[in-house]
């Protein structure tokens, strides 16, 4: 059920947007047939939802943890199909939803619509690519200008400034896009960071979004990325011990096998398969209520099948376009390049 605080989009409209994204995977061009007005309404509503969330989320339960997607909408849908769409399954996504892949817009529309429809079942953290400065060189801005417009791009950028920077799961597992910061000893310091964060070059935000673990470093060192830092096993052990935590789960780094244990208590997850044609596996981590963590990998899907949750099909059947100017797809519009299945 959609959040009661949503003023400008109702539950049926959100379901219809989700339907449009899922059904777009059966089009050979792979893009949604949506006009800009409903997209702008979606972004504004989701920005309001992000504004209500703290800079560091405190969550309890079982979660599927998703790493970098970089516009790979098919991998996102595959993850939902394999582990359950919200609200059946709870998700924490670690950022880098955009850039480099072909479907950053569809990825964000699906995530934002699900966030509004099931706000307690899906949580989006900020990655270093959720920033205006990063995007100028990595494709998302151009994608917006081609398929939407400059105003939609600006609204997306504003929404990114309200995304949480970290999540604490079950008082035990610290989730973040990049890594640790020399400026943070006590984890509660993240709670005191105020949003919006428009400039991620500021020290703490830059570290959380850009830093990397390194087996060649014991404490802290400068990063070859030019932002953030490298941190080693001594720092991880100290951070976990001081804050009574057991594990760090982060993203930000390409992993040929979908995940890697960068350090003993630091797990990296990378969820975009065949990233830029490299043939890599995608990966996710599943955190149980008892804080047991399991990793799973997947290959790039061949003969991709679109499996929709029953609530999308039932709510979208016979649903009229909610915006007169929305280029609304139906099954008859589709140039089939995949298979539609209903859960």
Q: What is the token pair recorded at 163?
A: 């995304």
pLDDT tens-digit series, residues 227-261: 878 999 999 999 999 999 999 999 999 999 999 99
Instruction: Give the model's confidence band at 328: pLDDT under 50 very low, under 70 low, under 90 confident, else very high.
Output: very low
Mean pLDDT of the chain: 87
Integer Cα distance of 231 and 218 in angstroms: 7
CATH of domain 17-302: 3.60.21.10
Domain boundaries, the chain: 17-302
Partners of 263 in the beta sheet? 266
The yes-or-no verdict on residue 332 having pLDDT over 90 is: no
SS3 20: helix
Return the structure tokens found at 303.
Answer: 């003969």
User: Quick one: pLDDT band at residue 335, thresholds 50, 70, 90?
Assistant: very low
Distance CA 254, CA 71 (A): 15
Specify which residues 259 forms β-bridges with: 269
Q: For residue range 181-220, what is the model confidence (pLDDT) as tens digits? A: 999 989 999 999 999 999 888 778 999 999 999 999 889 8
The count of other CB atoms within 10 Å of the CB of residue 293 is: 18
d(CA 95, CA 112): 13
* Residue 26: partners with Cβ closer than 8 Å, 6 or more residues away: 306, 334, 335, 336, 337, 338, 339, 340
pLDDT in tens, 3-49: 444 456 888 899 999 999 998 888 877 788 788 999 999 999 999 99
Burial of 188 (0-12, 13-18, 19+ CB in 10 A): exposed
Q: Which 8-state DSSP code applies to residue 332? A: G
Mean pLDDT score, 67-83: 95
- Residue 40 is encoded by which pair of tokens? 């702008």
pLDDT at 323 over 70: no
Give the length of the chain: 343
pLDDT at 86: 96
Which residues are known to be catalytic? 129
């Amino acid at each position: 059920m959609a959040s009661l605080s949503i003023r400008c989009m109702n539950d049926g409209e959100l379901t219809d947007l989700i339907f449009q994204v899922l059904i777009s995977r059966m089009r050979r061009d792979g893009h949604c047939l949506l006009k800009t007005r409903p997209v702008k309404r979606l972004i504004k509503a989701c920005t309001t939802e992000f504004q209500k969330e703290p800079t560091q989320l405190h969550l309890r339960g079982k979660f599927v943890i998703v790493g970098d997607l970089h516009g790979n909408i098919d991998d996102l849908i595959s993850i939902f199909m394999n582990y359950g769409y919200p609200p059946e399954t709870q998700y924490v996504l670690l950022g880098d939803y955009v850039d480099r892949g072909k479907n950053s817009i569809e990825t964000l529309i699906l995530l934002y619509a699900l966030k509004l429809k099931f706000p307690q079942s899906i949580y989006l953290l900020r990655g270093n690519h959720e920033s205006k400065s990063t995007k100028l060189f990595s494709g998302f801005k151009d994608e917006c200008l081609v398929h939407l417009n400059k105003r939609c791009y600006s609204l997306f950028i504003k929404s990114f400034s309200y995304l949480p920077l970290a999540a604490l799961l079950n008082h035990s597992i610290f989730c973040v896009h990049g890594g640790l910061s020399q400026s943070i000893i006590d984890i509660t310091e993240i709670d005191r960071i105020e949003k919006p964060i428009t400039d991620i070059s500021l020290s703490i935000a830059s570290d959380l979004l850009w830093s990397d673990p390194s087996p060649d470093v014991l404490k802290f060192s400068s990063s070859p990325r030019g932002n953030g830092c490298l941190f080693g096993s001594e720092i991880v052990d100290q951070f976990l011990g001081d804050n009574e935590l057991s594990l760090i789960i982060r993203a930000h780094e390409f992993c040929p096998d979908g995940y890697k244990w960068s350090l003993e208590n630091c797990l990296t997850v990378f969820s975009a398969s065949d990233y830029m044609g490299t043939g890599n596996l995608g990966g996710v981590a599943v955190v149980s209520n008892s804080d047991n963590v399991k990793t799973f990998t997947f290959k790039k899907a061949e003969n991709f099948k679109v499996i929709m949750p029953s609530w999308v099909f039932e709510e979208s059947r016979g649903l009229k376009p909610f915006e007169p100017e929305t280029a609304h797809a139906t099954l008859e519009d589709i140039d089939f390049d995949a298979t539609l299945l209903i859960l």
